[in-house]
A and B are shown apart, each in its own frame.
Chain A
Amino acid sequence: MAYVPGMRRPLQRDDAVVLRVQKLGESDRIITLLTRRHGRIRAVARGVRKMTSRYGARLEPFGHVDVQWALGSGLHTISQVEGLALLGKHFVEDYPRYTAACAIMETAERLTSEEDQPALRLFLLTLGALRALADGEHAGTLVLDAYLLRAMAHEGWAPALAECAVCATPGRHRAFSVAAGGCVCPNCRPPGAAHPHPLTIDLMIALLGGDWKTADAAEPAQRRECSGLVAAHLQWHMERALRSLPLVDRGERT
């Protein structure tokens, strides 16, 4: 439903994940939401930076909210918000998980390049990743890498892991080339291809397929290598680098 200038603004309601908040003017914020049925939208939340705001706390990043907004010709305007699962409180007390959650939010925003275009699978994937991160059952970096791999699969550029990315020869291949699109056989291996540990490829397959038993058992060295390959593969396919990915705290503070 489009907004016609001069007419009363129609209202819409959906559940959404708060991806990003940006300051606007004296006390307002622009809220970027990934909604279940309407895709990514941007809306103004008036007065939410004031201490007296009745719903400002519900519009903090990482929250799963039930939100109502009035359609605008540019930005929409949020009129009501109810919290369904305000997951931010789980992350602010755990810095590594906070940085991982930020990377998930930025990826979700970048993968929904057009506003108001439904992206149900990405919404469900993002919400599931945030819930898994909040539960704390698995390491934060594993949840992040699983999310990135599945988001890339959703976009159609998941790395080839069980076949050669160039000639599609099935099997486990030792070389991995980001430019070629994943694992490559000895005949197709381009110069400069990486040679990750075979267990790293197993970990990537486990994360992509949801085999958490294998993923949780992975050694720190394989986890680090996996994170590097996933990040490199993601950055290769994105037009601009993710700003939050280099800031992810992988628990290696000295």
Chain B
Amino acid sequence: MPCHCTDISRVKSDIATLTSIQSKQAQLDSVDSSQTSLCKQLSGQLSKAVTPANLSSLTNHAAKFNDSQKSKHLFMKTLVTGEINSLRQTLTLLQDADKAYHQAQQQQRANG
């Protein structure tokens, strides 16, 4: 049964890194929100700015222009959250194993 201190340190570091990524994803959410609002604004302006009528497809499209980016960001958020949860479970396991290892080591020294 080995010592897990190094791994625990690495896992904690990774959780911190991923948490930092989550805050950047929150910034992406804010960008998405601003972009979506601008797209709606653009759509309204285009519908008044230009004809022919077939350009209405342009205005309809403009309103939803950022939707695909938004869904990509949402999916990435899910992945990061999942990975953090997974790392937290791993951390618990590693901490438990590490605790058992060090208790065993202490026991051995006491017995010796």
A and B bound? no
Chain B: residues with CB nearer than 8 A to chain A?
none
